[in-house]
Amino acid sequence: MKITDVRTASVQGNFEWIMVRVYTDEGLVGLGEAYWGAGVETIIHRLRDIVVGEDPHNIDYLFQKMIRGMSGAGSTGGAVVAAISGVELALWDLKGKALNTPIYNLLGGRYRSKIRIYADCGHGREPTPASWAERAQGAVERGFTAIKFDIDNIDPKRFGDQFHVTPGGWAQGQQHPISNGEMDLILQLVAAVRESIGMKIDLALDCHWNFNTRDCITLARELEPFRIMWLEDPTPPDNVDAIKRVTDNSPIPICTGENHYTRHGLRPLIVNQAVDIIQPDVPKVGGLLEAKKIADLADIYYIPMAAHNVSSPIATVATCHMLSTIRNFIIMEFHGQDVTWWDDLAIGGPWISDGYITIPDKPGLGVELNEDVVRAHIKPGSSFFE
């Protein structure tokens, strides 16, 4: 079997979902999805020339060929690896279809047949204790047993006067100090969530790389009574020593990984035991086999793996296949609570039931696109696999 073409269709959900199809001379077509980012779809079109004519079964070799063909070993990250991830996912779907078996069988077989999911709740409807409590309760009523809120970047224009929140974060691209007022607001919001859902529901909190090292340690200590599942991305991804200092001084688990690429990007976090939990994004970090290699490296250090996920059902289910095959899995993200047609994008949903995704038993990914829904939400400037 030979690869004959690679095409894309970019869908505009709450993120850009870049669908990838890999075509063959035997008529089989593999379906994947790449993480969003500037230029990713264009890069996938350039990857086409690297994989056309190749045997699609040689996935690990093709991964290396794509890495070296784009910018060379050791210099690859960002949009290039996200694009490669989308093609890699499609190759696994193709291989599973060719061999008539689900992807999880090809990755070593399953530890589990369903994957536990946590619901991302963002900043809530607005950053008030009542709104966060309501948002949390809503997720629990839909069957989730774990949720996550964003405690960074709380709008200082709306709350600065009352809480003395210091402007900073994403808008300024800096790590800003957490004022006493901002700390009070964060603690009030988290307390309201805990009061709403009780202690048995797992609760993670995301900082989106916004705070400085010392304040992250203080924040972690203040949050200890709330039994937090993890504090995510306290400091930026560039400095492993800094996040290790936070982890070593934090009474609650520290988690990171979504902005690291390939096993080489995650390696320093793992071998230095700089975090308690790693959370790569599979259609961004390099794909299913790369994520499995990262999971196995982490497992040697008894570091569990969660999965960051903002994808459509395609990459979400693909990630579930991989997660079912690793020993140290704990939980996976779902970021589509507010996208009413998230389930409809793939035939066979709803995909999430009582906070779990049951992995399809069909060959390959086991999921096919609902083409009408894809066409209805094509991102301007993209096309339907043309």
Q: Please state the closest distance from residue 132 (CB atom) to Mg ion, in A.
A: 17
Residues in the chain: 386
Nearer to Mg ion, 182 or 233 (CB): 233
**Is there binding between residue 150 and Mg ion (CB under 5 A)?**
no
**Is there binding between residue 206 and Mg ion (CB under 5 A)?**
yes
Q: Please state the closest distance from residue 266 (CB atom) to Mg ion, in A.
A: 15
Nearer to Mg ion, 206 or 290 (CB): 206
d(CA 320, CA 306): 11
252 secondary structure, DSSP code = S
Nearer to Mg ion, 315 or 365 (CB): 315
Nearer to Mg ion, 97 or 308 (CB): 308
d(CA 51, CA 260): 25
Nearer to Mg ion, 228 or 365 (CB): 228
Q: Which two tokens stand for residue 107?
A: 């990755």
d(CA 117, CA 364): 22
**Is there binding between residue 152 and Mg ion (CB under 5 A)?**
no
For the purposes of burial, counting CB atoms within 10 Å of the CB of 380, is it exposed (0-12), middle (13-18) or buried (19 or more)?
exposed
Nearest to 148 by CA among 186, 120, 187, 123: 120
Q: Closest CB to Mg ion belongs to which residue? A: 206
In order of 76, 116, 155, 258, 278, the CA distances from 306 in angstroms are 23, 10, 28, 10, 6
Nearer to Mg ion, 149 or 342 (CB): 149
Which residues ranging from 229 to 258 are in contact with Mg ion (CB under 5 A)?
A: 232
Nearer to Mg ion, 93 or 258 (CB): 258
Query: For the stretch 42-65, what's the b/e string if a residue is b when 16 or more beta carbons lie within 10 angstroms of its beta carbon?
Result: ebbeebbebbeeeebeebeebbeb
Candidates 36-44, 115-123, 203-211, 343-351; binding stretch for Mg ion (CB under 5 A): 203-211
Q: Please state the closest distance from residue 371 (CB atom) to Mg ion, in A.
A: 31
Q: How many residues bind Mg ion (CB under 5 A)?
A: 2
Q: Please state the closest distance from residue 237 (CB atom) to Mg ion, in A.
A: 11
Candidates 39-47, 128-136, 201-209, 314-322; binding stretch for Mg ion (CB under 5 A): 201-209
Q: By the 8 A CB rule, do 6 and 45 touch?
A: yes
Helix (H) / strand (E) containing 126? none
246 secondary structure, DSSP code = H
Q: Please state the closest distance from residue 141 (CB atom) to Mg ion, in A.
A: 24
Contact residues for Mg ion, defined by CB under 5 A: 206, 232
